[in-house]
Chains A and B, each alone.
Chain A
């Protein structure tokens, strides 16, 4: 499975491997219970240890689309509630990433492609490109993908009505200020 990264909201820094596994096993049982209470009895959950004391809980379900939700809203709510519950029980709980049918992995690949396409456009046209509004975790993936490529830079524009910011991929040196929408 691909390496996953995300800003950890709660959880721990220096936990041993055995602790992470124990903590992950408890989180898996809790996630199983949450899914059952939601009516998704068929869900199967696999546990993977990630780098930096994180745990990935991968869910397989025949109702994956419902569990992911529009813009991964349901998936993110599940992950958030699970981490709050585990943290309330044990302040040293490992941070859990919840994924359904590899949605996060596929989504990350799409974002990377978007970032590289935008960079290519900026290089060719010399004009800045504005991407669609997206949540902070997604913007972070774009910023990091572009970082280190000297001739382009990124910044976030102010939030829209729904509170989402947009990333602008721009030439490293300031141009005339015109921005194209991606």
Chain B
């Protein structure tokens, strides 16, 4: 799941080397924190949050397949 978020984020930005994803494991929910170059925030979030919403949807689907819950937060 971390690989998925990392791969998508790196593929969308101008500074892929600045993408960092950290995983915080909870009991039932795993939280991913996404950090990127400040200039790339708009690319990762998208107009009206459309891009980050789509990434969350794919992450949720990947997690559900393993019977887990996942959350994704963009940290700036």
Binding site for B on A (CB under 8 A): 30, 33-34, 37-40, 63, 66-67, 69, 73-74, 76-78, 80-81, 84-85, 88-89
Q: Give the residues in chain A near B57, CB-CB below 8 Å.
A: 69, 73-74, 77
Known: A34-B4, A39-B62, A80-B50. 19 other contacts (CB 8 A): A33-B7, A34-B7, A37-B62, A38-B61, A39-B65, A39-B66, A66-B61, A67-B61, A74-B58, A77-B53, A77-B55, A77-B58, A80-B54, A81-B55, A85-B8, A85-B11, A85-B12, A88-B11, A88-B43
User: Number of B residues whose C-beta is below 8 Å from A?
Assistant: 21
5 closest A-B pairs by beta carbon, nearest first, are A77-B57, A77-B54, A37-B4, A38-B62, A85-B11
Binding site for A on B (CB under 8 A): 3-4, 7-8, 11-13, 43, 46, 50-51, 53-55, 57-58, 61-62, 64-66
Residue ID in chain A nearest B60 by CB atoms: A74
Is the contact region of chain A dominated by helix, strand, or loop, or is it mixed? helix
